[in-house]
């Protein structure tokens, strides 16, 4: 029954994509329906007219799009049901599909680890299905075909679900490629823009390089086993050298999809150009499928982890976390900023996963379980608040046609509901107490603080440094999203688009991110609900769970023991409520100040505020840009227009700032130049002379005869 729920989720996502293709066949459907209705003698004329009206050019597309997103939403519902069922039962369900290679059917396995990621996908897909119908109306005026968007969205979701069900390398790679290729078409959806085509090509190129690396990693395991099924790969006996080679190949392949530095360059290019609900799925969900691949490959298929692997993940994760948030701080484009923020959060997840590997290799299974649960919990939380923020960015873009932070402002008065939802996302991603981001980062710190159980002096020195980097990352993330919320929603409008903005009228566009905002608060106050489920995942993966006072306590969260550290979010909520009520009473205890008064913002005596007096994105981050100048490639120019007889009077000042990622010019551009130079050298053999080509053939024949003999 559990596997049937998973199959239904996959089928419905496929069906939503196929249904989207019907829009192109509307004229044929009209003809068929008219021919069919004329053969029904008792059909009332009004009913016939109503049915024909639904198939006309105005009503049919909107009804079809609602049906497509409805199927997608039901796919998410069944994914949640399947994930919860397998996690609560702690069962492992297997099956075979009559597809695949002639000598090997597709193997299916559904367990607690797969079920957890099913849960993540299901929640995100439901939110997107509510948000999508209203959002895609903005594409109607641009004449973008919905059948392309609907088809590849369904295939994209189906591909991610199939990756989680795959139990052999061949099936896994088929599903992985379905996910990658479908998302390529979604990134390239608005292909009339050159920047979109470039971003889509870069994404596809790096996705295929990553896929090749994953195939090689499976190949290493398969060379020591009998076939490509995961059961056979689990039984492979690898030396430490070959196991490490397989780990590195898998880390490159999955890390490229996850967006680890320096393999992240596709991510800030692809996310901003994709439709917002697709960006939400890619950032909030697809990156987690890559995390699933790492966990499945290292903990399950290889089996025996080495502490050196944990160090690699710890260092790479630390660099990704710091690099991601530093690059995010400098971005004036909202979706590009959110994309770099995903790099940061993926870095945090891999940091804690590295700690789990280190403790696992040093015979500390309970601390390894703590690290794994902290990593998975942060993956779950990131899926919630990053989907929320991308959908919120979609609402802002839909209502203002603007994503440049410096061109927004004052939206809290014009879009109050959106501002409240977006504020919850900002507080969650900033790891503030009472929201879900705080719980997972607190668990990450608790994992790092257990370093005293290790005997290795290098690890005892390295882990505190990473913990300090995590603290810096959390502080910078809070500053980053203070900038985001303040510049977008507070102050005065900086453009006419922002000034004319109004709250979105479509209820679904608010309901989707609204549900995610509610879940961010729910799991921030009651994290035991999800940690209880994650204990089953940890039991399956590392054979250990957290102490009972963590797993069963709804009030106190004590990851190691109540004596060492504990956190009680319900009590914090009660304390905040009491403090808020007391403060409200204290401030309004005087009868003269009970009446609420609204007044213009104080202008400090300058005689009237205007938008030019406000901080810009670059001004807000200027102190950090001065302190950490070496982290970015900065091109800062101040040009003055002079006037007067001697050009001594300043007529205008033009300020330009460009902040670039080091990775692209320092790593990828030299590789691109090298490939181009090599191609030019190889191109010299194309002389166009038939005698030269005959000489090549003769030399090849001689060489082959020599090799064979």
SS (H, E, C) 649-664: EEEEEEEEEEEECCHH
Would you kindly state where each structural domain of the chain is located, as residue ranges?
Answer: 615-663, 664-708
Containing H/E element for 177? helix 169-187
Answer yes or no: are the C-beta atoms of 78 and 123 closer than 8 Å: no
Rg of the Cα atoms in the chain: 28
Q: How far apart are CA 388 and CA 70, in angstroms?
A: 20
Tokens matching residue 288: 């987690």
Q: Is the dihedral of CA 626, 630, 633, 637 positive or negative?
A: positive
Of 315, 336, 184, 307, which Cα lies nearest the Cα of 261? 315
CB atoms within 10 A of CB 561: 11
Q: How far apart are CA 534 and CA 117, in angstroms?
A: 11
Answer yes or no: are the C-beta atoms of 381 and 440 closer than 8 Å: yes
Helix (H, G, I), strand (E, B) or coil at 94: strand
pTM, two decimal places = 0.90
Q: How far apart are CA 622 and CA 393, in angstroms?
A: 24
Answer yes or no: are the C-beta atoms of 321 and 469 closer than 8 Å: yes
Q: What's the confidence (pLDDT) of residue 457? A: 82
Q: Is the dihedral of CA 9, 288, 69, 412 positive or negative?
A: positive
660 phi/psi in degrees, rounded to 5: -120, 150
Q: Estimate to the nearest angstrom the gap between the alpha carbon of 5 and the chain centroid.
A: 25
Tokens matching residue 694: 């005959």
Q: What's the confidence (pLDDT) of residue 552? A: 47
Contacts of 570 (CB under 8 A, 6+ apart): 525, 526, 554, 555
CB atoms within 10 A of CB 226: 11
Of 447, 655, 541, which Cα lies nearest the Cα of 90? 541
CB atoms within 10 A of CB 571: 11
Tokens matching residue 119: 């849960």
Q: What's the confidence (pLDDT) of residue 371? A: 92
DSSP tally for the chain: helices H, then strands E: 30, 4
Helix (H, G, I), strand (E, B) or coil at 192: coil
Q: What's the confidence (pLDDT) of residue 44? A: 55
Containing H/E element for 641? strand 633-643
Question: What length does the chain have?
Answer: 709
CB atoms within 10 A of CB 159: 25
Of 310, 315, 319, 318, which Cα lies nearest the Cα of 353? 310
Q: What's the confidence (pLDDT) of residue 162? A: 95
**Mean pLDDT split into 10-residue runs, the chain, 709 residues:** 90 89 60 54 55 55 82 94 92 85 84 94 95 83 76 93 93 94 91 86 91 93 88 87 93 93 89 90 93 93 88 94 91 92 94 93 89 94 94 92 89 92 94 91 90 85 91 92 92 88 90 94 90 90 75 68 78 88 77 68 75 82 83 79 73 77 81 83 77 84 82
Answer yes or no: are the C-beta atoms of 409 and 491 closer than 8 Å: yes
First to last CA, the chain: 61
Q: What's the confidence (pLDDT) of residue 393? A: 93
653 phi/psi in degrees, rounded to 5: -125, 130
Q: How far apart are CA 499 and CA 496, in angstroms?
A: 5
Q: What's the confidence (pLDDT) of residue 698? A: 86
């Amino acid at each position: 029954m559990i596997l049937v729920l998973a199959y239904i989720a996959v089928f419905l996502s496929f069906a939503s994509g196929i249904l989207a293709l019907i829009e192109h066949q509307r004229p044929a459907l009209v003809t068929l329906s008219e021919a069919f209705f004329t053969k029904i003698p008792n059909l009332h004329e009004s009913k016939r007219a109503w049915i024909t009206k639904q198939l006309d050019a105005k009503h049919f597309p909107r009804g079809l799009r609602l049906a497509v997103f409805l199927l997608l939403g039901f796919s998410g519902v069944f994914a949640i049901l399947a994930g919860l069922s397998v996690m609560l039962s702690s069962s492992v369900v297997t099956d075979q599909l009559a597809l695949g290679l002639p000598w090997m059917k597709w193997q299916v396995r559904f367990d607690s680890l797969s079920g957890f990621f099913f849960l993540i996908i299901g929640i995100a897909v439901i939110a997107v299905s509510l948000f999508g119908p209203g959002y895609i109306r903005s594409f109607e005026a641009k004449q973008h075909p919905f059948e392309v968007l609907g088809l590849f969205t369904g295939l994209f979701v189906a591909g991610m679900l199939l990756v989680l069900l795959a139990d052999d390398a061949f099936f896994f790679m088929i599903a992985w490629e379905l996910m990658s290729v479908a998302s390529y078409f979604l990134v390239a959806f608005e292909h009339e823009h050159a920047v979109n085509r470039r971003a889509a090509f870069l994404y596809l190129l790096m996705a295929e390089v990553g896929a090749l690396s994953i195939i090689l990693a499976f190949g290493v395991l398969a060379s020591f086993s009998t076939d490509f099924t995961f059961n056979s790969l689990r039984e492979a006996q690898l030396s430490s050298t070959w196991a490490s080679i397989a780990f590195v190949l898998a880390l490159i392949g999955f890390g490229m999809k996850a967006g680890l530095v320096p393999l992240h360059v596709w991510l800030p290019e692809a996310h901003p150009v994709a439709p917002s609900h697709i960006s939400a799925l890619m950032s909030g969900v697809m990156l987690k499928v890559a995390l699933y691949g790492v966990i499945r490959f290292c903990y399950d298929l290889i089996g025996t982890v080495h502490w050196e692997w944990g160090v690699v993940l710890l260092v790479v994760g630390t660099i990704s976390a710091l690099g991601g948030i530093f690059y995010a701080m400098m971005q004036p484009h909202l979706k590009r900023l959110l994309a770099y923020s995903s790099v940061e959060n993926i870095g945090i997840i891999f940091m804690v996963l590295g700690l789990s590997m280190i403790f696992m290799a040093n015979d500390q299974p309970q601390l390894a379980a703590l690290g794994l649960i902290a990593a998975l919990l942060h993956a779950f939380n990131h899926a919630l608040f990053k989907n929320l923020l991308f959908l919120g960015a979609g609402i802002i873009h839909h209502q203002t046609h603007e994503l440049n932070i410096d061109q927004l402002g004052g939206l809290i008065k014009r879009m109050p509901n959106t501002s409240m939802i977006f504020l919850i996302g900002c507080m969650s991603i900033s790891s503030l107490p009472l929201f879900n981001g705080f719980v997972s980062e607190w668990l990450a710190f608790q994992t790092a603080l257990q370093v005293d159980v290790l005997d290795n002096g290098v690890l005892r020195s390295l882990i505190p440094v990473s913990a300090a980097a995590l603290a810096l990352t959390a502080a910078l993330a809070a500053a980053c999203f203070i900038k985001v919320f303040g510049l977008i929603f507070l102050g005065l409008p900086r453009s006419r688009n922002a000034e004319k903005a109004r709250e979105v009228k479509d209820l679904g566009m608010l309901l989707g991110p609204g549900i995610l905002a509610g879940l961010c608060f729910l799991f921030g106050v009651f994290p035991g609900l999800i940690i209880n489920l994650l204990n089953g995942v940890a039991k399956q993966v590392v054979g250990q769970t957290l102490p009972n006072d963590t797993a069963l306590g709804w009030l106190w969260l004590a990851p190691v023991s109540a004596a060492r550290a504990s956190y009680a979010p319900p009590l914090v909520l009660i304390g905040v409520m009491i403090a808020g009520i007391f403060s409200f009473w204290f401030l309004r205890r005087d009868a003269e100040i009970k009446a609420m008064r609204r007044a213009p913002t104080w202008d400090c005596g300058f005689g009237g505020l205007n938008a030019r007096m406000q901080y810009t994105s670059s001004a807000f981050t200027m102190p950090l840009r001065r302190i950490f100048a070496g982290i970015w490639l900065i091109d800062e120019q101040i040009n003055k227009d002079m006037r007067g007889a001697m050009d001594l009077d300043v007529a205008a000042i033009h300020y330009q700032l460009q902040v670039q990622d080091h990775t692209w010019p320092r790593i990828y551009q030299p590789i691109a130049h090298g490939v181009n130079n090599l191609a030019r050298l190889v191109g010299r053999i194309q002389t166009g002379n038939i005698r030269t080509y005959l000489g090549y053939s003769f030399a090849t024949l001689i060489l082959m005869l020599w090799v064979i003999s």
